[in-house]
Each structure stands twice: as structure tokens, then as C-alpha cells.
A = this chain, B = another copy of it.
Amino acid sequence: MRKLINQKEHFIKDMLDGLKFHDQKISIIEDSIVVRKVKKESGVAIVSGGGSGHEPAHAGYVADGMLDAAVCGEVFTSPTPDKILAAIKAVDNGDGVLLVVKNYAGDVLNFDMAKELAEAEGHNVATVIVRDDIAIDNAEQRRGVAGTVLVHKYAGYLSGHGSNLQQIVEKVENMMESLHSIGMAVHPCLVPTTGEFGFDLEEDEMEIGIGIHGEKGIYREKSETVDKIAGRLLSELLPHNDDNDIILMINGMGGTPDSELLIVTKYVMEALEEKGKTVHKLLVGNYMTALDMQGFSLTIVSHNDELLKSLNAPTESTHY
């Protein structure tokens, strides 16, 4: 199999052992939970997590200014409630814990169960559920995708600047009302634990509206040039947000080369300029991936001064 792995059973442990060499400010507990080596003494602790395979999400964002812990499930599989509980207990300093959860049935269920267990032990825990993927019509069923990284950064900033748990929940919920994403792929990911491609896609096809595990999208059709793809994605995304002042993330799916992400950037930015939009901050890179999938997603959120300040604030994460 064309994968750089040792034993597939040790995929997560091996990856986190590697991360520990790369980032000397983190520790690993219970083989699957990434925490800061120096626990925050005060302020709401921010915890996220989910299935692995989306690196650098979420483990790469455990750093001053962003997350306090990331709970890493197996590849594309939710972490179990006991691990999430262990993470909550490890990071709570008495100021409460915010769980940032992507909207997948398993994640929501397991984080919810861990929250109940933690509350029974006296922890103050709140949850925000990210549902930014507009490929799903029903707003309640929308998946959490790349926009989650902006939630990490915003929540981490608010925590570091004196907001309490209730205030962070309110501000993040408010921010998420204008947070929308859509993704596309030209090549599926090869899943290391199964040795199979995550889905099938012909050489000359693309899928628009795809999720970060390769879940079904809105259209599958013949590949197009990037200007047309950019136009198509924006025509799906912009009806959800009519603000002219926005923040934009162009996220690579893991196997997309830099050169192509930059070509995407050109055509997306030109199309937005034509529509009279002002992009107050542009993020381009691999933020929330699907292993080695080739493709990208666009995330748009309405601009406001505090959100912009939070996204520009320093963090020790080398992946943001």
C-alpha cells in the first residue's frame, strides 16, 4: 500500500509520538489525547477532537491561543466518551470547559455523554456544535468542516481575553450564524486503516459539496477549470451570507499541492472582488484535511472587529 505507515493499528499513537517530537510544548495522555505541557492556570479551557485523518486538525491546534486539548479518535472514527472525559478532567482549572464539536452523530453523542459524566463530577462544561457545511440542505444536519478551525481560534482568543464560559458560548454561537463552508474533490483519499480509497471518482470527474471523509456531495460531474469551479462554489455559498465584509479560508484537503491552492486563490478572490466583497482576512493552507484527498473547501464568515482581532492574534500553533 502506498502509505508511509508502520502498523495500521498504531497509526494514531505513531502520529502523536511524531507530533511530540515536532512540538515540544505538548504532552500526550492515554495515547490519544493531546494537551499543553503547561496547563493554563485560569480561563475557560477549550477542548475539541474527533476522528483522526484531518491533520493538522485538531491536535496541531493545541497551543497557547487556541486549544487546551484535542481528543483523537481512530481514523474517521469518533473518540470514546472516556477519553473525552479524561481530556476535560486534565484541562479544567475551575473556570469551565468548552467542547467544540463537529456535527457528526458519533461525535455529538460521545461528547455529550462525556459532558454528562464530567458534570456529575462537578465540572462546568458547555458545548458548541459546528455545522458549517452547506452541502446539506437541512441546517440542523449540516456537518462540521473547516470552519471549525476558525471557531478554535476565536474561542481560544476569547478565553485568553477574560470571557467566561457563558460569554464564549454566546459569542461563538453568534459567529457561527454566518459561518459557512463548501468543499470539492478531484481525487479521493486512500484510507490507511483499510487500504481502500474513501470513495470512487473517475479520472475526469469532480465532486462538489463533498465532506471531509468523502461523504456524498451535491453534484458529481466532469472536471472543470478552476475559474468555473470557483464560480460554482461561490454560487452555493454566497446565498447564505450577503455581507460585503467577510473573512475567507481556502483550505486544502491534504494532498492538494500549494501551486494549485494558489491558483484556486486567484480565481476565488477575483470572483469575490467582482461581486463587491471585501476580504478582511484570507487564510490559505491545509487546515482541516481528509488524509491525502485532493481538493479544497471555501469557508466564509462575516467580518467584525473582534473576530478579525482574534484571528490575527498570536498563537503558538505552528499550523494556524
Interface centre among A18, A60, A227 (most CB of B within 10 A): A18
User: What is the CA–CA distance of A17 and B294 in the complex, to the nearest angstrom?
Assistant: 21
Q: Cβ of A292 and Cβ of B289 under 8 Å apart?
A: no
In this complex, what residue of B is CB-closest to A264? Answer: B4
| Residue A174 CB within 8 A of the other chain | no
For the residues of A in contact with B, the DSSP-based class is: mixed
Contact of A266 among B21, B260, B267, B294 (CB under 8 A): B21
Identify which of residues 7-37 in chain A touch chain B, using a CB-to-CB cut-off of 8 Å: 7, 11, 14-19, 21-22
Contact of A5 among B52, B260, B295 (CB under 8 A): B260
User: What is the CA–CA distance of A263 and B267 in the complex, to the nearest angstrom?
Assistant: 35
Cβ contacts under 8 Å, A258 to chain B:
55-56, 60, 254, 286, 289
Query: Closest CB-CB distance, A315 to chain B, in whole Å?
Result: 13
| Residue A284 CB within 8 A of the other chain | yes
| Residue A275 CB within 8 A of the other chain | no
| Residue A305 CB within 8 A of the other chain | no
In this complex, what residue of B is CB-closest to A59? Answer: B262
| Residue A265 CB within 8 A of the other chain | yes
Q: Cβ of A11 and Cβ of B259 under 8 Å apart?
A: yes
The 10 closest A-B pairs by CB, nearest first: A18-B262, A18-B265, A55-B258, A18-B266, A4-B260, A2-B186, A17-B266, A255-B255, A14-B263, A21-B269
| Residue A302 CB within 8 A of the other chain | no
Q: Cβ of A55 and Cβ of B2 under 8 Å apart?
A: no
In this complex, what residue of B is CB-closest to A292? Answer: B257
Cβ contacts under 8 Å, A291 to chain B:
257, 259
Q: Cβ of B4 and Cβ of A263 under 8 Å apart?
A: yes
Contact of A257 among B203, B255, B295 (CB under 8 A): B255
| Residue A223 CB within 8 A of the other chain | yes
Cβ contacts under 8 Å, A289 to chain B:
257-258
Query: Closest CB-CB distance, A201 to chain B, in whole Å?
Result: 8
- A50-85 CB mask vs B (1 if < 8 Å, else 0) is 001101100010000000000000000000000000
Known: A255-B255, A259-B11. A226 touches B6 (CB 8 A): yes
Contact of A1 among B192, B223, B263, B284 (CB under 8 A): B223
Q: A1-B203, A18-B262, A55-B259 are in contact. List 16 more A-B contacts (CB 8 A).
A: A1-B223, A2-B186, A2-B294, A3-B260, A5-B260, A5-B263, A6-B225, A6-B263, A14-B266, A15-B262, A18-B284, A55-B262, A255-B257, A255-B294, A257-B291, A292-B294
